[in-house]
Structure formats: structure tokens, C-alpha cells
Amino acid sequence: MPAIVLIGAQWGDEGKGKATDLLGSRIDYVVKFNGGNNAGHTVVIGEEKYALHLLPSGILSDGVVPVIGNGVVIDVAVLFEELDGLIARGIDVSRLRVSANAHVITSYHRTLDKVTERFLGKRQIGTTGRGIGPTYADKINRVGIRIQDLFDEGILRQKVEGALDQKNQLLVKVYNRRAVTVDEIVEELLGYAERLRPMVGDTALELHRALDEGKTLLFEGGQATMLDVDHGTYPFVTSSSSTSGGAVTGSGIAPNRIDRVIGVIKAYTTRVGAGPFPTELFDEWGDFLTEKGAEFGTTTGRKRRTGWYDAPIARYSARINGVTDFVLTKLDVLTGIERIPVCVAYEVDGERFDEMPVNQTDFHHAKPIYEHFPGWTEDITGVREFSDLPANAQAYVLALEAMSGSRMSAIGVGPGRDAIVVRHDLLGA
Ligand code: GDP
Ligand code: IMO
Ligand code: MG
């Protein structure tokens, strides 16, 4: 089972970090293929809690080779800070590989992220302010800076000059900010080159070779399906391809090498930032999920919006990503709810939609149609076998499975590393 893609099936924070960690000991390479330090993955190992942003969560497993692929945008200062934090805690990060083709987030990208949000006013996306959107915009606009440029001062200077020709006009004339000098940017980026150099290489080639040698590769998506720039709730999305297709373009492996796609999905739904969210709760149940699920962002600390499970979104994700297995997380958070609502379809202006409407206005107006499932009160955090779950919890999982487009192969019952019930081996048949 050489190449496995793992992605978020909702709006992020499904517990991808924990799901990756679950596979850790059986993985040889873990590859981040999209996004940057907008991601935030919390992994709890015993008493230790790790928050990862730019590095793939698989880095916490002994012996694994972590790879940052070409599809990622890198804030090099943040990368070094995160590496230093892990080194200080005794994690071996010496194997890290970084694609020479990944793009670099600079200070002007961070500034532009913040000022464009401010100018959007009420139409704000609620970005993480890390410079993600402007860096991907430069990549597509062909004025980006790549990691390999940091090793050639002449080329770097030329590219920064080209980028700043436009940026300084924008910064000064439109956004009333100070101009940035070519020298300050070049000097900062050159300062990273020496430490970075040994990590950088042709990661696409290295991954191909690893596959040919029969190694097991896990492609770990940041963000999630509904935040994907093509398939998410545009424009309330991130700026990268966070669906399984992104694993191909963002790493340089071919689509026919992918064997399995794991979708991580919460037993309810959360979202950070603006944009449509049909099952969102504004009552005490919303607060219940926020508090019991500890739904505060790993990256920005923002309170996450909360709502019930949305089956049309699960089916949409299963289709778009080709999900072969779902990991259903945070089932324990639902303990104690007498009747659990699940959205099975939407109503838009009197019309029933069984699948996600393609028109964004329809989705903004979609009202969930709920079915209710009987809850359970027993503490399930210590359960490790599916048959030991309360009958109603089993029935809830099986009902979700029947309406979500793929099997529920593992079920999270607590934040800890081992708090999981495995029904089907994620790497097996
Ligand atoms: P990611 O961005 O998808 O990696 O998810 P985050 O780490 O941002 O958010 C998921 C949070 O849920 C983390 O704090 C995890 O420790 C926690 N978590 C993961 N799985 C479970 C679970 O099954 N039960 C509970 N209670 N917490 C979980
Ligand atoms: P993980 O990997 C949840 C959201 C932001 C904002 C939108 C665009 O932890 O699941 P950006 O800074 O990317 O341009 O912001 O996307 N967002 C996330 N929400 N989890 C994430 O990552 C996110 N990364 C970005 O809140 O609405
Ligand atoms: Mg997160």
C-alpha cells in the first residue's frame, strides 16, 4: 500500500494531525503538499501536546522522512522556529526534505494579506493573516519567489525587483503603507540560505524513487475539501488545492500511484473564518460543542463556529476526493446529547436538494433538513472495540456511514494518541 492521501472532509480541524499520527509507525515518508502555516494540527502524545503548522504531523514519528512538497508556501522564519521548537523537545527533524520549487512567503505577502482583508470590510474572508493568499496569487501570476531562488543572489534580486515593482505601487498608492526595499527582502531571504541548503532538493524525484523502492508514503493535506480553492465554498476558501488532487500537483507524484484516500471527518462540523455553513448553531448546543470539543483554533486561537454533521458535505467530499476510508473523529464530544440531529439534505426556497447545490447563492440560503438519532450517556473515551460502544453510538456511526459515501474505518473517542476505535485497517485491504 505505497501511497496514501489523507485530507480533511469538512472545513478543517477535523483531527488530521491525530489521524496521521495514528499511521505514523507504518509510514516511511510523510508529505505536506499544500498550504503553509495557516494549518494547525494538535497531536497529543501522553502528557505532551504538539501544535504543528508548517511541518507535517508525521514528523513526530521516529524514522519517518518528512517532506515539504512544491505545492506548499513556506515562511522560512516560521519553518526554522518550528524546527527549533521540536528539536528542543527531543524530536529528530534531521531528515526533513524541502522542495526547491516551493514558494516563499515574504513580509510583503503578510502585509498584503492583512491590508486586503481590512479593505474588504464586511466581505472579509477571515484569513489567518499568514500571507497565504498573496503568495499563491504571486505563484499563479508568475512573480513568486521559490526556495531555489534563495541560493542564487542574482536571480533572487531580479525576481524581488520584479515583484516589488507592482507591490510597492499597491502598498503605497492603494493601501497607504510604506514601500518595501529590494535590499531588505533580499538580505532577509539570503540569511536563510545556509541553514536551508542541506534540506532542499528535487523532492518529486526523491518521492518517485521511494515509491519504486516499495516505501509507504502518506500525503497529508492541510485545510480541507470545503476550503479548496476549486471545490470549496469559494471565495470563502484558502488559496490552495486541499483536496486529493492537490497531492498530485503539490508533490509531483502521478495520480495512478495513489492507492488510498483517507477522509478525516468530525462527528459534527466546525468552521473558522467567514462563509456559508448550513448546519451552524447559534444556540446553547453550539456552545456545548465549542466547549466540550475545545473548538478554538490551533493557529489563531479563534473560537470555531460549530454545527451538526452535514451528510451532503460528507458525500461531496467522498466524491471529490475519492475517499476510500473515513476517520470519524470526536464522537466522544456528542456523549450526553439526547437526540442528535444530522443534516440529510437541504431546503432552498421550498425546493429539496439532496446534494450540495452548485450555485453559491443556493448554498448560502440552504436550510438543513434534519433526521434525529438517539444519543448515549456512557463515557466512551476508554472504548477500543466497536462492539463495546453503546448501541446508540454504534447506530449513529453506521447511519453516518450509510449516508456519507464511504466506510467509517476508524472512530476517534478522545484527543489522546490511542483514543481510537479501528474497524478496518487503514493501510490494509
Ligand atoms: P487538524 O487541523 O485537522 O489536524 O485538527 P486540529 O488539530 O486543528 O483540531 C482537532 C482537535 O481535536 C485537536 O485538538 C485534537 O487533539 C482533537 N481531537 C482529535 N481527535 C479527537 C477525538 O476523537 N476526540 C476528541 N475529544 N478530540 C480529538
Ligand atoms: P487545518 O489544516 C481551519 C481558513 C481561514 C479562512 C480561510 C482562508 O488546521 O485544518 P488563509 O489564511 O488560508 O488564506 O484563510 O481558510 N483556514 C482554516 N480553517 N483549519 C485550517 O487548517 C485552515 N487554514 C485556513 O480561517 O477562513
Ligand atoms: Mg487545524
Domain boundaries defined on the chain: 3-93+202-422, 103-197
**In testing the pocket of ligand 2, which one of 57, 109, 238 has its CB within 8 Å of the most ligand atoms?**
238
The alpha carbon of 120 and the centre of ligand 2 are apart by a number of angstroms equal to 17
Mean pLDDT, residues 216-244: 98
Q: Which helix (H) or strand (E) holds 395?
A: helix 391-404
**Cα separation, 139 vs 209, whole angstroms:** 27
Say if CB 195 and CB 80 are below 8 A apart.
Answer: yes
Of the ligands numbered here, which is closest to the C-alpha atom of 17? 1
Closest residue by Cα to atom 8, ligand 1, is 13
Mean pLDDT, residues 119-123: 90
Burial 63-87 (b: 16+ CB within 10 A, else e): ebbbbbbbbbbbbbebbeebbeebe
Mean pLDDT, residues 215-238: 98
- From residue 36, give the alpha-carbon distance in Å to each of 41, 78, 115, 320: 12, 10, 19, 22
Question: In angstroms, how far is CA 28 from the centroid of its own chain?
Answer: 21
Confidence tier at 299 by pLDDT (50, 70, 90): confident
Say if CB 368 and CB 343 are below 8 A apart.
Answer: yes
Mean pLDDT, residues 399-423: 96
Say if CB 348 and CB 284 are below 8 A apart.
Answer: no
329 lines ligand 2 (CB under 6 A): no
With CA atoms as reference, report the closest residue to 263 among 318, 220, 307.
318
Confidence tier at 1 by pLDDT (50, 70, 90): low
The conformational region for residue 7 under phi > 0 = left, psi -120 to 50 = alpha, else beta, is beta
- From residue 423, give the alpha-carbon distance in Å to each of 28, 220, 340: 23, 21, 22
Confidence tier at 21 by pLDDT (50, 70, 90): confident
**In testing the pocket of ligand 1, which one of 20, 42, 262, 291 has its CB within 8 Å of the most ligand atoms?**
42
The alpha carbon of 205 and the centre of ligand 3 are apart by a number of angstroms equal to 29
**Cα separation, 295 vs 307, whole angstroms:** 11
Please determine, looking at this structure, whether the domain spanning 103-197 carries the CATH number 1.10.1040.10: no
DSSP 222: S
Mean pLDDT, residues 60-75: 96
What is the position in ligand 1's atom list of the atom closest to the CA of 18? 19
Catalytic positions are 13, 41
The alpha carbon of 352 and the centre of ligand 3 are apart by a number of angstroms equal to 32
CATH of domain 3-93+202-422: 3.90.170.10
Q: Which residues, judged by CB distance below 6 Å to any ligand atom, belong to the binding site of ligand 1?
A: 8, 12-18, 40-42, 44, 298, 329-330, 332-333, 412-415, 419
Q: Is the pTM above the cut of 0.85?
A: yes
